[in-house]
Amino acid sequence: MQVYDAPLRDMRFVLNELHQDDGFGDLPALAEFTPDLTDAVLEEAARFAREVLLPINRSGDEEGCHIDNGVVRTPAGFREAYSAFREGGWTALAADPEWGGQGLPETVNKLVEEMICGANISFGLYPGLTHGATTAIESHAADELKQAYLPKMVSGEWTGTMCLTEAHCGTDLGLLRTKAVPQADGSYRITGSKIFISAGDHDLTENIIHLVLARLPDAPRGVKGISLFLVPKYLPRADGTPGQANGVSCANIEHKMGLKASATCQMNFEDSTGWLVGAPNKGMEAMFTMMNTERVSVGVQGLGVGEAAYQAAVWYARERIQGRSLSGPKRPDLAADPIIVHPDVRRMLMTMRAYNEGCRAVGNWVSRAIDAERHSEDAEVRQHAADFVALMTPVVKALFTDYGFETANLAVQTYGGHGYIRESGVEQYARDARITMIYEGTNGIQALDLVGRKLPANMGRLLRTFFHPVSAFIEENGGEGPLKRMVEGLQQAFGALQLSTAKIAEKGMKDPEEAAAAATDYLRLLGLVAMGYCFAKAAKIAAAKLAEGGNDAAFYQAKIATAAFFFDRILPQTSACFLAIKAGKKSMMGLDEAAF
Amino acid sequence: MSEATIRKVCVIGAGTMGAGIAAQVANAGVPVLLLDIVRDPANRNAVAEGAVAKMLKTDPAPFMSKAAAKLVETGNIEDHLARVAECDWIVEAIIERLDLKQQLYAKLEEVRTPGTAVSSNTSTIPLDHLVEGRSDAFKRDFLITHFFNPPRYMRLLEIVAGPASDAALVDRIADFADRRMGKTIVRAKDTPGFIANRVGTFWIQVGLNAAFDLGMTVEEADAIAGKPMGVPKTGIFGLVDLVGIDLMPHLQKSLTSTLPADDRYQQIARSFPLIETMIADGYTGRKGKGGFYRINRAENKRKEAIDLATGEYRPQAKAPELRGPAARGDLAALIATPGKAGEYAWAILGETLAYAASLVPEAADDIVAVDVAMKLGYNWKYGPFELIDRIGAAKLAERLAAEGRPVPAILTLAGDRSFYRVEGGRRQYLGLDGAYHDVPQAEGVLLLEDVKRNSEPVLRNASAALWDIGDGVACLEFTSKMNALDGEIMKLIGQAVLLVQQRFKALVVYNEGSNFSAGANLGLAMFAVNIAAWGEIEKLVAGGQLAYKTLKYAPFPVVSAPAGMALGGGCEILLHSDAVQAHAESYIGLVECGVGLIPGWGGCGEMLHRWQSNPKFPKGPMPAAAKVFEIVSTATVSKSAAEAREYGFLRAEDGITMNRDRLLADAKAKALSLVDGYRAPEQPTFRLPGAAGRAGMKLAVESFHKRGMATDYDMVVSDTLAEVLTGGDADLVDTVTEGDLLALERKAFMARVRDKRTQARVDHMLSTGKPLRN
């Protein structure tokens, strides 16, 4: 059964306790967002997720979106939920106050995003894409465009999209064909077809603002000849209300494995009026601004679904009785013990829990850096934070979504045969989570980004932001008690990561294929070390809190238990990664192509 | 040796060239009399004196040391001309006017000592005009010695002998210029512009013509004539800005007035109203208000370029980049590139290479002379005939013929062959007789390049190699990118020391890169820092210390032979050698403090030892430590080998070689001279001032800090250095060993490398090439 209660205690822990010494310093610009205030926001978001979004998650999946005469209809309840969402001010949460936003820290916003996606990931796509489009317009568009579009997008009256993919080009955008012809009035006429456009059309808002990648007539070939345009579904009138239709139409919607309540559209632009966002032929740069923030958000989607799947699995493992505990009956009053008593079920639940808590901790560390990059008064800190965000973005995207899917899969397994039946609600999580590993750059592309761009940049300068705190933590915490074993494990995994990094840098310089062959394992290795670092820190803090006493002992004890499980049962994955990286590309590329 | 017969030189004419030639003679350690006209009756030597004074402020400096400057005696033509009788060589470098030169020669004839050489530095006037009316004896002693600007740094010297010139006397001057002044001699014929200026002026002219005719921007033009062609990187407009736009009409005028009417140059010589206006308005290039490019200070140092059509400056625009083989130096692909880029490349190369080819044998005896002249006189990366080989002589001839243009005889002679080839390990060129001959080399020159063509290395890894250079001497060569020092080099040093003991008598550390070594591979080290591989970094430091000490205490003599930069670890290897034979143009220093580090490969101890054992320096623990602190904390780099002696980077007994091509031979000879009775040095011990000395050094830096000359972090870095140089916790009565100092160095190095501020300095250096003052 789908149950979802936002894990508020753990969220408050990563937000207020875990990363206080992250080196990004105080951010006076965000000082007004005190723990009291953010607590209230988180609680309200949790309520909204549980009461408004969760109830339409499974029904939305069953019903899906429809297209009638070129008009896309969302499933029952979505319009109402969206209105409530907008009226509650949730669309404006993290936006700049200049455009009507509330300017909430990213650390809080990402937690809210996790809740929305945990309750209903399909729903989350609509405001999520708007947020990405808003960011691109804010960073690159001319003032008039900002004035005309941002307030309505921030308030949620209009939504936004990103139109990149065409039928023949996904990962390789250099091939795209959509054309933009300049007009005398400074606008452009956009013509072309796009596919896989999330929220491309729907019935939630009166207007939709598309950001479209297209080519100018004299543009250079490849990715250096792509420009970004703002193309509204309806051209706004002088008073800001939607006016004349702008040649933007939805030809069809895709029939997908999951994420069914989110409309994935084929969009046609026919002589649609658009305006340039950013400089001519610099569309990829503008797009990447949006994509980078979106990639972290997609990672959080994976985590959100993972948390929901975990909760559903725990509910079932307590509910379902089957067999007796191997150490003697635990519920003699029942015909069998709840399956939560069985070691293999525990293995699954603990694994899911450790993935979720580890990712949440890493995610909040990265969110802190995003805030510091935007708001720190110290240029060095801003640079340091930007380096860290750049390094960790592909890790968050790929690691969180890989584990999100794995967690959903484990939830299905926990349910046994019932998990394979639609009514249980958990197979939806597996289907929904699956897309997060693919869109916004497949996880393979994320790994390439990490080893090909982020690792070698400026002689490894980005790495410093991660390696130095981890190294310092290991040096400073060799001590005693349960932490000792954790730090030893972390040290070993960190050593494997250092060695792998040096090897990839060395081999990759001579042969890029070597770096590419190591990429996926390397990303996993780095991600696991990041989780290990966060768990060790968390355990240290938890131990200190327990020593202090207080009434939160259960939470901290559980935190230490989960950390111990992570070090015993999950961190050893790093050894496999290390061995795979060390093996190099030879056996991967050795088989003759014809033999496939 | 015949060069020794030149004991004193007189240079007449103290303009840029004359003064620069005088300075280079003085750099060779030979006294010079520098004369010019009397302009100020109150101070009759003012012109020559002013020239010397100006040179002392010029950067890059014409003098290699203060001692050299003292060798120049100034005077004037009216009062001191008779003193030319004291001189073995008189160089005339006055204004390019035949009548004035002839008048001067007439006077010289009365006062000079017959049998001593007289040469003119003319770049335009034929030799037979110059000696018109002179005695046979004067004609016998006369030649043209055409230096390039600036005479210290440009390696080319064109020598033109007349029909009456005494061959032995010409050889004597050539030998002096080669061995003592460090010049590479090209023998040119007595034709207008000789070789380099004739080809160079022609090349610039076709480059300008084509850019205007094809309607290209200066950036577009230089993007093609620069890096892809490689002659030189600046491109043509960039080069003209550098040498001075106003020089162009002079060169043009002298060539058009002296070259025969049917010379191709007469047809292409053109003037451009835009360029005339620029010169008239003072836009003469980098030395003037700006040139084809300029930095607009009013617009926040914006880089601008001139619009060739309108003459207005506009922000510099990046020219579209070439792609494919044409961008990577494939000249055949470059001239075949469709569009303006290819047309422009062909316009330059087709014309210039055909012209250069037509000058053998008219202006030069062989193709080698033309190639050497262009490479050393105009900084071309390849000579014209080397460029033709890269296109293919047959292909070039074919295209010239197809366009109905004359095909130079030597191209026809070459046919399908190349102008150069390697045969039996020797580099050969195509002679006018149609046969290949060995590329001639001055007597006594030894080049590693030739050794490498002829043999396999004795040892090799990714960053270094060991070669057998004959007579029982091995040569250790760095082969890493930019000769940056890394773990592989240290490994090879260890292996080489074992092998040389068994199979050789001595070792020379030498390479033919443009810099000996600018130090450790910072990028690599920084990568290790970035991944917090502290253990690896400490190993790298300890490994370097071990390698250098192994070299120092090896049972055979080690001679290092630097040229260009020898910085950081590149300097430390010199400090660990038994002797150094340095090229005069060696820039040596321990620059670690600049990036927030301290010398970690034994440099601190070696420098302390040098200054402690310097007999002319005060004794006691403090003076040497303070001296080394002063030199190292300010990251001092010598501006020449001679100046390196002042800092103790070189010892008085270390040798200096003026001619780059003779460095290896000299180093080898030095190494062999140390073989008999060689004993490895004994380990020094130190008495160091300890904490009190360190406090004194801190006080000194604080005063700089107060005056804003040292940054906050400079204080930290210099204190770390002071800690090592004063012996750490050592007390005045303690004996500090070499090993103690090495341990201190390691500890201090690790403390600094782990500091964020050092990391920021290294980041900045790696990304901008400039030091960060944090």
Subunit contact B759:A464, Cβ cutoff 8 A: yes
Task: Count how many domains chain A has.
Answer: 3
The answer on pLDDT for B2 being more than 60 is no
Which three-class secondary structure state does DSSP give residue A401? helix
- pLDDT, greater one: A488 or A170: A488
Q: Mean pLDDT in chain A?
A: 95
Say how far apart CA A199 and CA A201 lie, in whole Å: 5
The answer on pLDDT for A454 being more than 90 is yes
The answer to whether B533 contacts chain A (CB < 8 Å) is yes
Which three-class secondary structure state does DSSP give residue B56? helix
Residues of B within 8 A of A468 (CB-CB) are 532
Say how far apart CA A473 and CA A529 lie, in whole Å: 12
pLDDT, average across residues A360-370:
97
B410: closest CA of chain A, how far (Å): 43
The answer on pLDDT for B445 being more than 80 is yes
User: Is the domain of A131 the same as that of A175?
Assistant: no
pLDDT for A578: 98
Report the first-to-last Cα separation within chain B, whole angstroms.
Answer: 54
pLDDT, average across residues B500-517:
97
Q: Which residues face A316 on adjacent strands?
A: none
A431 found inside a domain: no
- pLDDT, greater one: A481 or B284: B284
pLDDT, average across residues A274-303:
91
Where residue B4 falls among pLDDT bands split at 50, 70, 90?
Answer: low
User: Is the domain of A29 the same as that of A130?
Assistant: yes
CATH number, domain with residue A216: 2.40.110.20
> What's the residue count for chain A?
596
The answer on pLDDT for B472 being more than 60 is yes
The answer on pLDDT for A272 being more than 90 is yes
The answer to whether B760 contacts chain A (CB < 8 Å) is yes
User: Is the domain of A478 the same as that of A571?
Assistant: yes
Residues of A within 8 A of B533 (CB-CB) are 498, 502
Say how far apart CA B604 and CA A407 lie, in whole Å: 58
pLDDT, average across residues B718-737:
92
Where residue B713 falls among pLDDT bands split at 50, 70, 90?
Answer: very high
Residue A536: domain span: 442-587
A318 found inside a domain: no
Which three-class secondary structure state does DSSP give residue A235? strand
Whether residue A254 lies in the annotated active site: no
The answer on pLDDT for A85 being more than 60 is yes
Domains of chain B: 2-188 (3.40.50.720), 196-430 (1.10.1040.50), 448-591+637-679 (3.90.226.10), 593-636+682-774 (no CATH)
CA distances from B119 to A170, B22, B161, B173 (A): 73, 13, 10, 9
Subunit contact A463:B526, Cβ cutoff 8 A: no
Q: What is the pLDDT of residues A301-310, one digit of tens each?
A: 999 999 999 9
Size of interface A-B (CB pairs under 8 A): 43
User: Is the domain of A195 the same as that of A264?
Assistant: yes
CA distances from A200 to A6, A53, A112, A227, B331 (A): 29, 21, 24, 19, 51
The dihedral through the CA atoms of A519, A521, A524, A525 has a sign that is: negative
Residues of A within 8 A of B530 (CB-CB) are 459-464, 467
The answer on pLDDT for A33 being more than 80 is yes
Where residue B226 falls among pLDDT bands split at 50, 70, 90?
Answer: confident
A367 found inside a domain: no
Subunit contact A460:B767, Cβ cutoff 8 A: no
pLDDT, average across residues B689-706:
94
A43 found inside a domain: yes
User: Is the domain of A196 the same as that of A274?
Assistant: yes
Q: What is the pLDDT of residues B47-77, one digit of tens each?
A: 999 999 999 999 999 999 999 999 999 999 9
Q: What is the pLDDT of residues B166-181, one digit of tens each?
A: 999 999 999 999 999 9
User: Is the domain of A50 the same as that of A122?
Assistant: yes
Residues of A within 8 A of B761 (CB-CB) are none
Q: What is the pLDDT of residues B558-595, one digit of tens each?
A: 999 999 999 999 999 999 999 999 999 999 999 999 99
The answer on pLDDT for A240 being more than 90 is no
User: Is the domain of A52 the same as that of A107?
Assistant: yes
A482 found inside a domain: yes
Which helix (H) or strand (E) segment holds residue B633: the answer is helix B621-633
The answer on pLDDT for A181 being more than 50 is yes
Which three-class secondary structure state does DSSP give residue A362? helix
A360 found inside a domain: no
A319 found inside a domain: no
User: Is the domain of A88 the same as that of A195?
Assistant: no
Contacts of B629 (CB under 8 A, 6+ apart): B697, B718, B721, B722, B725
Q: Is B402 exposed, middle or buried (0-12, 13-18, 19+ CB in 10 A)?
A: exposed
Q: Chain A residues contacting B, CB < 8 Å?
A: 380, 458-464, 467-468, 470-471, 497-498, 501-502, 505
The answer on pLDDT for B231 being more than 80 is no
User: Is the domain of A96 the same as that of A174?
Assistant: no
The answer on pLDDT for B458 being more than 60 is yes
Q: What is the pLDDT of residues B519-564, one digit of tens each?
A: 999 999 999 999 999 999 999 999 999 999 999 999 999 999 999 9
Which three-class secondary structure state does DSSP give residue B122? coil
User: Is the domain of A105 the same as that of A135?
Assistant: yes
User: Is the domain of A109 the same as that of A180?
Assistant: no
**Among A459, A461, A502, beta carbon nearest to B533:** A502
**A221-235, A503-517, A544-558, B286-300: lowest mean pLDDT where?**
B286-300
Where residue B671 falls among pLDDT bands split at 50, 70, 90?
Answer: very high
Where residue A70 falls among pLDDT bands split at 50, 70, 90?
Answer: confident
- pLDDT, greater one: A582 or B323: A582
CA distances from B338 to B216, B231, B334, B335 (A): 15, 21, 9, 8
Say how far apart CA A167 and CA A193 lie, in whole Å: 8
pLDDT, average across residues A506-532:
95
Say how far apart CA A287 and CA B318 lie, in whole Å: 23
Which amino acid makes up residue B538? E
Helix B690-706 × helix B712-725 angle, to 10° = 160
DSSP category for residue A221: S
Q: Which of A266, A282, A298 is the last residue of a domain?
A: A282
pLDDT for A550: 85
pLDDT for B250: 87
Subunit contact A505:B527, Cβ cutoff 8 A: yes
Q: Which of A282, A314, A348 is the last residue of a domain?
A: A282
Where residue B424 falls among pLDDT bands split at 50, 70, 90?
Answer: confident
How remote is the C-alpha of B493 from its chain's centroid? 27
Asked if residue B638 lies in contact with residue B439, where contact means CB atoms within 8 angstroms, the answer is no
Q: Mean pLDDT in chain B?
A: 94
Residues of B within 8 A of A501 (CB-CB) are 531
Where residue B1 falls among pLDDT bands split at 50, 70, 90?
Answer: very low
Does pTM top 0.80 for this prediction? yes
Q: Please identify which of the residues A307, A406, A440, A514 carries the catalytic annotation.
A: A440
Question: Quick one: tokens of A329?
Answer: 């009956």
Q: Which of A104, A139, A174 is the last residue of a domain?
A: A139
The answer to whether B331 contacts chain A (CB < 8 Å) is no
The answer on pLDDT for B484 being more than 70 is yes
CATH number, domain with residue A35: 1.10.540.10
A289 found inside a domain: no
User: Is the domain of A135 the same as that of A166?
Assistant: no
Percent of chain B, pLDDT > 70?
99
